[in-house]
Chain A
């Protein structure tokens, strides 16, 4: 187990190095630069040149790259050209928001998706099955931002049941402990803030959960159907084992294996969905920040983000493998 973890963590080094080179070459071929983003539309050429000199952007690419690499080793991702604050600080402020949103979204997808997929498989051909299958098809087809807009239009603007934007109500301020608003409220006893944060999370999380939910329903259904047809299930049932035990220990456990892999990958992909959802709900997460960073050509943020995401993907995969080995002991042996 430990070897698996260490090996995976070591894999991070070449992955990140390779990525950083690719990123740097790509970014250096793009027109424009942070100078115009900093100075705005009335900057003169001399001013742009002065800024570029001050920021070291007039130096050769390899010098810039080396400097950049050195800073990464010092765990310094540079400063955002949009906000003038360290990229780490910007990530630290926003990342918890996105993680919180993603956890709730994936939570909704798992809590609703697995039982629904299971029930659909158990009652194959019934109305529940037809509903789940066609519903999941719609879930996959509807673009996330479109669903987000519809939800917002109906439940926030028309019915005013939910807030239309942001993470917390105006003036509502949870004491910052972990950056996760819901958790912070609970930790500091400011229950009001926790509830307010949940209230703000519901619509965007539902929008964001649409694709993972649909995928989980379909995968669980297919997987359960497959396992139900397996000999060992029939054997177990014909031996008169308790049905609950058969379904819990044999059917579900085995059927969940592919679903766990999918959940891992879906969690990673939620970040791209978050860009759109967070934009619609002006949710101050990493997704919205990346969108504005792309608009503003905020290179340090983009480079930092992509490296960071690569790291997150590797770590999620590691967690998936660990979860796998918990569910299926055979994996542990290999």
Chain B
């Protein structure tokens, strides 16, 4: 008995002692570490790991959030807004045909590895992307290059898009000229994309030695993009470490930065993949800020004294109709009836965070090209019933798919939003068959393949051009919508070919009016996503495009 007792007691005492020492040490470090006292390190939590330290290989927000602090593109968006302004190029212009883009570059800019930034560096980047081979030509790797500039110098895949990029010329040290084959609605917006940010030519030479490989079941990213050693941009921070085991990317202030220097010395991005986990980490004082705040948490956090700025609206939430799936949807009256049947204002009031707006068209009012003159479909159950009667579809039965276990910036609570809309539609006499699906990949696959008569989806813009919204859906036949209407497609495509910016905005307005006459689906709402910061933080200006510049952050 004694042996055991004393043994057990000893073991427990030892365990407790080790625990206490650890607690003591760690809390001590916490005091002058990350729990408020350390003004040298700002820790921000995102929902997912970045995929690559080379933004050219990525297409997701979590990657761009990290790389944006270290890499700059020719153009940028104004801090806190969506207006295009100079980035690494102070000024830019295009010829009237929209094919020759001239960039007057900023002087005195240095890369993190000491190389000088100049026109040759710009061309080295664009030529590097244009000459990508093999796996780099897969759209999984070079999605944004292909979206903005088309294919490659030598397309290896027959289905790769036709190259639109023609050449880049260093006219002199500080003037770069980029030529494209055809004018594109994606320019100049595309020049601001993080995926087309400029890297040091010395680093690019190292990049070119490494291949991305497609082996087995997936694409393996090149080594340089997974370790902080090689990458070098011109941004206010340089990436110094990616600790995958600890899920953290560390950035350090770049003292030779051409612009205003970062206020906090170290910037750390950590991954906490659950919403509750991020909120609790902030409340526990383990992090200084996080993104993708659940709308339900906004008020609670504000009450507790946290800074919870909301971004301007730059997304759209809609109910899609797939005409090929349910023939009744081919009738204009039925589509109009469904639009009248849904109470958008009700959804905005009950489901969206403050600042949410009911939508009248397939883009938010913050995007150039938004029209005040579109045909609107105010909530009117009787009108809906009337239209259904007119169409001979009084006993309309329709399947309505919705996703589960997901929160999107435009769709905070899909199931609740679905329930409201279902009730609205049923009031108008429509029998709704609900179909719940897991977001990825089931729901996304089903909606993409056009196998849901009604479904709900949304979109957050990449840059402020109407094509980035309506071009995504209505530039041509798409299974998701299951219709083929030349008038709609022509109106969108016509706008994309106008090179004069003011003229293009007008053309987008017209396209929006045409689309809403046709009413292919029901634009529901646009909502402002929130981002949270600790009480002692002066947050950066929040960006509608989720392009926050963390160099602006400081501690109180």
Contacts and interface: CB of A to CB of B under 8 A. Distances in A.
Decide whether A and B assemble into one complex. Answer: yes
Contacts of A153: 280
A223 interface: no
Contact of B23 (A80, A161, A280): A161
A192 B216 contact: no
A202 B246 CA distance: 17
B219 A38 contact: yes
Contact of B4 (A115, A196, A295): A115
B1 A244 contact: yes
A84 B219 contact: yes
Contacts of B442: 31-32
Nearest to B408: A41
A279 B226 CA distance: 24
Interface stretch (A12-20, A164-172, A263-271): A164-172
B15 A300 contact: no
A42 interface: yes
B19 A198 contact: yes
Q: Which bucket holds chain B's interface residue count?
A: 35 or more
A47 B297 CA distance: 38
B245 A171 contact: no
Contacts, number: 221
A79 B441 contact: no
Given A111-B11, A195-B25, A282-B273, A157 B284 contact: yes
A210 B220 CA distance: 39
B23 A171 contact: no
B556 interface: no
Given A38-B140, A46-B159, A300-B218, A243 B246 contact: no
A51 to B, nearest CB: 6
Contacts of B284: 156-157, 160, 163-164
B33 interface: yes
A41 B219 CA distance: 18
Given A37-B441, A171-B250, A163 B218 contact: no
Interface stretch (B263-271, B321-329, B413-421, B544-552): B263-271
Given A165-B277, A198-B19, A247-B1, A41 B444 contact: yes
A49 B138 CA distance: 11
Interface of B: 1-5, 7-8, 11-12, 15, 18-19, 21-23, 25-27, 29-30, 33-35, 41, 43, 49, 51-52, 59-60, 135, 138-140, 143, 157, 159, 214-221, 226, 241, 243-248, 250, 266, 268, 270-274, 277, 280-281, 283-286, 440-442, 444-445, 448-449, 457, 472, 479
Interface of A: 31-34, 36-43, 45-47, 49-51, 54-57, 67, 71, 76, 78-81, 83-86, 93-94, 97, 107-108, 111-112, 114-115, 118-119, 122, 152-153, 156-157, 160-173, 176, 179, 181, 192, 195-196, 198-199, 202, 243-244, 247-248, 252, 279-282, 284, 288, 292, 295-297, 299-300
Closest 9 CB pairs of A and B: A32-B441, A115-B8, A78-B216, A79-B218, A164-B284, A199-B26, A36-B441, A199-B22, A198-B22
